[in-house]
Amino acid sequence: METTQSTSPLITNDAVVFGLLMTVLALVFYASKLQAPFWKRFYSIIPTVLLCYFVPALFNTFNLISGEKSALYSVASRYLLPASLVLFTIGIDIKGLKRLGSKAVIMFFAGTLGVMLGGPLAFMVVGFIFPDILHFGEEETWRGLATIAGSWIGGGANQAAMLEVFGASKTLFAQMIAVDVLVANIWMGLLLYGAQKKEKIDRWLRADNSAITDLEEKMEELHASQPNSSSGISSWIIVLGVAFGATGLSHLFADYIAPWFEVHYPQTAQYSLTSSFFWLVIIATTFGMGLSFTKARKLEHDGASNIASLFLYILVATIGMSMDLKALLDNPKFFLVGIIWILSHITIMLLVARLIRAPFFFVAVGSQANIGGAASAPIVAAAFSRYLTPVGVLLAVLGYAVGTYGAYICGIILQAISNSIS
């Protein structure tokens, strides 16, 4: 979702905007390689991916560019994201993923529970302090908050379902979108930062991350033992051909499957089965996993995951340019609800993680699979290890399945709290 800006940005040509974003990426990575003490210290605190995210956000906030009026995110999410999923999964160790066990699923559902309970808790706390927040004009605020629950457990389809079920007005819905976008994006930035501190957090959680470490070491050894079979443009063209060929087929199938579900089983919209983007992500990931059982997995040694990482960084920059930090000033009480909500969500996740000794990787990816969905969960997973990207996709798909149910229950609780306070 995107916020609205009232004036035209300084730069409206997407070619110029794309050049600006690529320049930002280049400068960020150039500076990260410098050996000067200042830059070494700076990048030991601030990860590169966080800068690639927040610098474009500042450009959007100060109206230099506009994420709302640009088509770059649409291009990156529809073309580069599925291509990166194919390349990330093409060399994956499927058996190693299976050995990650049930903790990933447990942490995902802990995140879902955190959203379902955190929203009502935040609404109750802020409602007692500021009773006027219970209503937005003549309308009950809880109806709009339920749409955030739909977005934060599942995705856009689940959010739209809650909009229809609880009947929030477009004006209230616009306010909720602003809360959704800004709080969720800031949270994603914090998770990306946390990925750089995973060892410290894992020690606090008393985590058993042996399965993750074993998978990473096995993939690193495999990568090191088989140097590039060839180099140069021919290898890269083959990698790109496989990536975008699979992406094209994914679009082709998605464009048939989604409308078929919409016509024959319209009720499946609550599970996102009528969404072309849902099928695009699923099919692209499936292609990558299928190719991992063939000779195509050798493309990993021709730079497949490096090219996928490049695509993902471009996607990160386009997501960042959709965030407007000034939206915090529009309705600070709503944002206070959002902040308490997300803090409640992560508190429950950390408590469960400490209880079952789950690594912070499962906390972060389980959280982002809930809050951000399929477009951003792989980004958070890749911040930990490029070999773990498929985990983000699989958990995000689970979010689409349970999003409507969880958000509906959350909405009912929000309604009960609103009635009890008023």
- Count of residues in the chain: 422
The structure's pTM equals 0.72
pLDDT tens, position by position, 326-358: 766 777 899 999 999 999 999 999 999 999 999
Mean per-residue pLDDT over the chain, rounded: 85
Average pLDDT over residues 102-131: 93
d(CA 65, CA 23): 14
d(CA 366, CA 117): 16
Average pLDDT over residues 211-221: 73
Which residue, 88, 96, 89, 90, is CA-closest to 297?
Answer: 90
Instruction: Identify the pLDDT of residue 231.
Output: 58
Of residues 155 and 207, more confidence is placed in 207
Using the predicted structure, report yes or no on whether residue 76 has a pLDDT greater than 60: yes
Whether 314 contacts 76, CB under 8 Å: yes
Q: How many CB atoms lie within 10 A of CB 240?
A: 14
Using the predicted structure, report yes or no on whether residue 3 has a pLDDT greater than 70: no
d(CA 193, CA 45): 8
Q: DSSP character for 375?
A: T
Instruction: Identify the pLDDT of residue 2.
Output: 41
d(CA 324, CA 5): 8
| Helices and strands in the chain, H and E counts | 19, 2
Cα dist. 233→53, 227, 239, 288 in Å? 30, 17, 10, 22
d(CA 146, CA 237): 46
In this prediction, residue 4 has a pLDDT band, given cuts at 50, 70 and 90, of very low
Instruction: Identify the pLDDT of residue 225.
Output: 59
Instruction: Identify the pLDDT of residue 222.
Output: 62
In this prediction, residue 247 has a pLDDT band, given cuts at 50, 70 and 90, of very high
Whether 419 contacts 141, CB under 8 Å: no
Instruction: Identify the pLDDT of residue 1.
Output: 41
Query: Cβ contacts of residue 42 below 8 Å, gap of 6+?
Result: 31
DSSP string over 150-186: HHHHT-HHHHHHHHHHHT--HHHHHHHHHHHHHHHHH
d(CA 151, CA 112): 11
Calculate what percentage of the chain has a pLDDT beyond 70. 91
Average pLDDT over residues 294-316: 85
Average pLDDT over residues 21-33: 94
Tokens 């969905």 belong to residue:
373
Record the tokens describing residue 180, joined without a space: 């959704």
Whether 370 contacts 158, CB under 8 Å: no
Cα dist. 420→46, 67, 157, 232, 333 in Å? 44, 40, 30, 67, 19
Q: DSSP character for 226?
A: S
Q: Is 90 helix (H, G, I), strand (E, B) or coil?
A: coil
d(CA 410, CA 407): 5
Tokens 């009912």 belong to residue:
412
Kindly report which listed range (66-75, 159-168, 224-233) carries the lowest average pLDDT score. Answer: 224-233
Q: Looking at beta carbons, which pairs linking 349-352 to residues 24 or more positions away fall under 8 Å?
A: 349/107, 349/110, 349/111, 349/114, 350/205, 352/106, 352/107, 352/110
Calculate what percentage of the chain has a pLDDT beyond 90. 35
Q: Label residue 368 exposed, middle or buried (CB < 10 Å: 0-12, 13-18, 19+).
A: buried
pLDDT tens, position by position, 366-379: 999 999 877 788 88
